[in-house]
Structure 1
Amino acid sequence: MKLVAVIFLFSLISVDLNPVSANFFPNISSIPASIIPNGSVWDAFGALHGCRRGVKSQGLASLKKYFQLFGYLNTSYDDFSDDFDEFLESAVKNYQLNFNLNQTGELDAPTLKHIVLPRCGNADIVNGSSTMRSGKSSSAYSANSTIHTVAHYSFFPNRPRWPAEKSQLTYAFAPENQLSDVVRGIFVKAFERWSEVTPLTFVETTTFNRADLRIGFFSGDHGDGEPFDGVLGTLAHAFSPPVGLLHFDGEENWVTDGNFLNGSPMSAVDLESVAVHEIGHLLGLGHSSVEDAIMYPTISSGIRKVELANDDIMGIQELYGSNPNYNGSGSTLNPLTPRGERDTSGAPTHGFALVFGLLSLLLFLV
């Protein structure tokens, strides 16, 4: 009964939110200089370098709120003073452990450098439990039995997933966002990253309130208890099955063609990279401590990262099984982009390509 109430509440939230017109740019050079920030909203944390337990320093209160937001401090913690107490030290150590840093408990340079990176707004620790760093045995489920690795993927509490009888999921965009075909096409490709390795398929619908997955771009406090913070900082967040809500920060400078070869990378965020990550949350995956994994929580501005790592594939296949056409290296119809290469072809894929071709033929005949 409580779950039904929560789902109903989030359904109401998704209707009442006020989407914004997001910032989309084809490439870095097209971003106006006037809206490029000097740095991340968290850059002020750099002044805390060297802080450790027992120290009092201005700005530690804000850092405590950061750690509470991402689950490293309990929700009941309320000492937001500038004192570096034992709870903050424990939070720092857990953060360092999750992100493969030396567990000093001190705000050293590597730790602070990582803290200020743009990231997913979903917490790394939920209800006091984190599995980002937990290594499962090499016998963990994988469609490719020739790969032997320690897995670090994780799930939401109680492992929520979409029911087996619902292998086709519908998704819709908030009508108020008025997204272009280019932006919508990016989501087609992002969803295909996951359908290539699972039996799941994804179909867009125009009925927003009845779609399984509802996507929108918002700014600031948008009614779900997780306000966005402007350029950089938190980029997006998503809710686990069966809620199906995916929210992006509309104030980010979203790049749509994945081209980061020209111009400064400051503030430019690749839309497809973030979309692939957040879709993993929509399907039930939590965060991973594997830096190459899509489900790793942070991504630097100016970086394109759209390729599922083996850790992502093992995790999603443990929930849903494998796509029958998946052979461990991508389907034969639409191979996965080789790791380290940029997928900048922009070519329409599968159903979209068929529709595009038919429309082109129709126009030619007319």
Structure 2
Amino acid sequence: MNKPQSHQLIILAFFVSFSLTNLVVSARVFPNVSSWLPDHAPPRGAWDAFRNLTGCHLGDNYDGLANLKSYFERFGYISHAPPSNFSDQFDDALESAIKTYQKNFNLNVTGFLDDSTLQQIVLPRCGVADIINGTSTMNAGKQNETASSSKPRFHTVAHYTLFPGMPRWPEGTEELTYAFNPGNSLSETVKGVFAAAFARWAEVTSLKFRETASYFSADIRIGFFSGDHGDGEPFDGSLGTLAHAFSPTNGRFHLDADEDWVVSGDVTQSALSTAVDLESVAVHEIGHLLGLGHSSVEEAVMFPTISSRRKKVVLAQDDIQGIQYLYGTNPNYNGSSATSAPERDSSDGSNSSPWSVFTLLTFSYLYFTLL
């Protein structure tokens, strides 16, 4: 068998590396809300079918309750169990989950599926759970923390919450770098939205944020993904879980590529019922990256849900108190809402093609294995 020639290896490396960087699907990012045709239909989200469960209560057996149990299991309200084990019986575990959910979201604690509870459940939301290791991060955690002393507790001060064990970036950290998955090929306009989101947190704390082109060495790694993308937290299409991020110092920040993301214009005036404001979601998820859990204060950016066609980017006092508890106060912060975009680092190859690293790695592998 003839060995491949060097020029053949180079061509092969190019196509393999190009394919690797395109495993991530392109995000549905719209530069301006005016780019859509009118759409006056109500949004049809991933959980819209739950609306059919209105009025269900303890003792009922109704088609769809098993799926609702899976929803509550996903966000920590029901103990982990294979979805196939869930029945359509409205049992004690479901009633308990509903009561805790209602308390967390400032609803009347009835234990049954009234209109206001289901209207909250079907809203788009962050994929981070409200209850972790049996401990609620929200209202229920203030009066009824986990009974087991062996499990980590959420530290609750005021209404904001922190992750179990209070993870944060190391003491003395002054700057965090962030980078974008090169497979997404995001425009400068989209990157600017994230810069603005980081700036809102930098304004009130001692932390600074800087974009870098070095994706694999960045402190925070941002990417758009579809469906099951390998981290155990699959996305579910339009208006389900919008994004999720991991607590310090993991640094992973993932967004659902199948959402209709808006990067400019007045999202509240969008004709598209499924329009989601990118900066609003980015500000929320950065809070998780820095160590904040979910808040029960509806005005806070760390509240778990956000409606489509809504912009929510200004940090509430609850958000500010929480992040300053972790990292201290920016000495220049005067309580105003003005923000400026952090500097971007182009000294480490930001002008190079997004697949150059993969090309080198792939070529090296092919060269030494095939020659």
Specify the TM-score bucket, using the shorter chain as the normaliser. Answer: 0.7 to 0.9
What SS does the corresponding residue of 1:20 show, helix, strand or coil?
coil
Aligned to 2:267: 260
Segment drifting more, 294-303 vs 70-79 = 70-79
TM-score (norm 2): 0.79
- Output one character per residue of 1:165-211: Cα deviation in whole Å (capped at 9) or x when no partner: 22200100000000000000001100000000000000111111110
Distance 1:311 1:38 in 2: 30
Give the drift of 1:31: 3.2
Match for residue 83 of structure 1 among 73, 79, 89: 89
Question: In the alignment, is residue 234 of structure 1 matched against residue 241 of structure 2?
Answer: yes
Aligned to 2:306: 299
Distance 1:76 1:326 in 2: 46
2:184/2:224 contact within 8 Å kept = yes
Q: In the superposition, relative to structure 1, how do residues 95 and 350 fare at CA in structure 2: closer, same or farther (>3 Å)? A: closer
Question: In the alignment, is residue 113 of structure 1 matched against residue 102 of structure 2?
Answer: no
Q: In the superposition, relative to structure 1, how do residues 16 and 88 fare at CA in structure 2: closer, same or farther (>3 Å)? A: farther
1:18/1:218 contact within 8 Å kept = no
Q: In the superposition, relative to structure 1, how do residues 303 and 38 fare at CA in structure 2: closer, same or farther (>3 Å)? A: closer
- Output one character per residue of 1:232-268: Cα deviation in whole Å (capped at 9) or x when no partner: 1100000000100000000000000141354425100
Aligned to 1:55: 60
Distance 1:247 1:89 in 2: 32
Aligned to 2:288: 281
Structure 2 counterpart of 1:86, one-letter code: D
Q: In the superposition, relative to structure 1, how do residues 156 and 106 fare at CA in structure 2: closer, same or farther (>3 Å)? A: same
Structure 1 counterpart of 2:200, one-letter code: R
Match for residue 42 of structure 1 among 47, 56, 66: 47
Q: Percent identity?
A: 60
Match for residue 138 of structure 2 among 132, 146, 159: 132
Distance 2:320 2:122 in 1: 28
Aligned to 1:20: 25
Question: In the alignment, is residue 194 of structure 1 matched against residue 231 of structure 2?
Answer: no
Distance 1:233 1:277 in 2: 16
Q: In the superposition, relative to structure 1, how do residues 266 and 127 fare at CA in structure 2: closer, same or farther (>3 Å)? A: same
What SS does the corresponding residue of 1:172 show, helix, strand or coil?
strand
1:31/1:253 contact within 8 Å kept = no
Gap regions ≥5 residues in structure 2: 1-19, 144-156, 345-371
Give the drift of 1:94: 0.4
Larger radius of gyration: 2
- Output one character per residue of 1:5-35: Cα deviation in whole Å (capped at 9) or x when no partner: xxxxxxxxxx99942200111233323579x
What SS does the corresponding residue of 2:132 show, helix, strand or coil?
coil
TM-score (norm 1): 0.80
Distance 2:341 2:327 in 1: 23
Q: In the superposition, relative to structure 1, how do residues 157 and 261 fare at CA in structure 2: closer, same or farther (>3 Å)? A: closer
Gap regions ≥5 residues in structure 1: 1-14, 137-149, 337-347, 353-366
Question: In the alignment, is residue 154 of structure 1 matched against residue 142 of structure 2?
Answer: no
Question: In the alignment, is residue 98 of structure 1 matched against residue 104 of structure 2?
Answer: yes
RMSD over equivalenced CA pairs, Å: 2.2
Structure 2 counterpart of 1:305, one-letter code: K
Distance 2:104 2:122 in 1: 15
What SS does the corresponding residue of 1:41 show, helix, strand or coil?
coil
Q: In the superposition, relative to structure 1, how do residues 198 and 225 fare at CA in structure 2: closer, same or farther (>3 Å)? A: same
What SS does the corresponding residue of 2:135 show, helix, strand or coil?
coil
1:217/1:249 contact within 8 Å kept = yes
Question: In the alignment, is residue 67 of structure 1 matched against residue 98 of structure 2?
Answer: no
How many residues are aligned here?
310
Distance 1:309 1:233 in 2: 24
